[in-house]
Amino acid sequence: MISLLRGKIAEKSLGKIVVDIHGVGYGVTVPLSTYYRLPERGSETELKIYTHMKEDGIELFGFTTEDERRVFILLLGVAGVGPRLATNILSSIIPGELVSAISSGDLAKKKIPGIGPKLASRLITELKDKVSEIEPSADVGKRTEVLEDVISALINLGYKRNEIDERISQIEEVTSKEKDIEKALKESLKIMRRV
């Protein structure tokens, strides 16, 4: 079973990357929370991997943090949640928020695509005790929120997704240092205007 991949990003598209390890390309599905933190093509990266066995082969799911992988595996343990839905859930909500929503019983209020009231109730019932041992770093969660807010603002200002992706590692660096969304956006706009 593959648990970790370290190599260069050969291809990168929304939710899917190819990691080149000594000339072998591994296709990896990633949630948006991971995708936004990845460097640009050609850069080195390290991903925690969940290997999903299927009848027609294997599928790899990658995460930049151990918390993401742990929450992903917990989600898979719930009836009705497969790897695709678990990936969509982590694309919509960071692990810390998900853990809090499950612990408090407020998951249905989060309006996560693919999670209706019945599934939200099942997730709370089955995972409430299990998520208590996961304490995701609040700093990582906050950083991801700022990054996602900046990306959303840039798109609203007319920038194309591929333009943002080309400079995502620089924008991520800004948002990791700057917690104030307005200041982070100003710095990110400077990055986008550079030719």
CATH code, 111? 1.10.150.20
Judge whether residue 143 has pLDDT over 70: no
Q: How many domains does the chain have?
A: 3
- How far apart, in whole angstroms, are the C-alpha atoms of residue 74 and residue 86? 9
Q: Are residues 88 and 118 in the same domain?
A: yes
Tell me, yes or no, whether 55 and 82 share the same domain: no
| Residue of higher predicted confidence among 135 and 29 | 29
Last residue of a domain, one of 94, 114, 131: 131
pLDDT at 137 over 50: no
Q: Which two tokens stand for residue 54?
A: 């299927």
Mean pLDDT of the chain: 85
Q: Which pLDDT score, from 0 to 100, does residue 144 have?
A: 63
Q: State yes or no: pLDDT of 188 exceeds 80.
A: yes
Same domain? 112 vs 88: yes
How far, in Å, CA of 68 to CA of 48, rounded? 9
Say if residue 109 is exposed, middle or buried (CB neighbours under 10 Å; 0-12, 13-18, 19+).
exposed
Among the candidates 22, 48, 63, a domain finishes at: 63
Q: Same domain for 59 and 70?
A: no
* 37 and 93, same domain (yes or no): no
Q: pLDDT-derived band of residue 139, with 50, 70 and 90 as boundaries?
A: very low
Alpha helices in 105-167 (DSSP H): 117-131, 138-156, 161-166
CA dist., res. 86 & res. 113, Å (int): 11
Please indicate whether residue 124 or residue 140 has the higher confidence score (pLDDT).
124
Q: Which domain holds residue 49?
A: 4-63
Verify that 144 and 165 share a domain, yes or no.
yes
**Last-in-domain residue among 105, 131, 157:** 131
Above pLDDT 90, what percent of the chain? 32
Mean pLDDT for 51-76 is 91
- Residues 73, 126: one domain? yes
**Interaxial angle between packed helices 117-131 and 95-104, expressed in degrees from 0 to 180 and rounded to the nearest 10:** 100
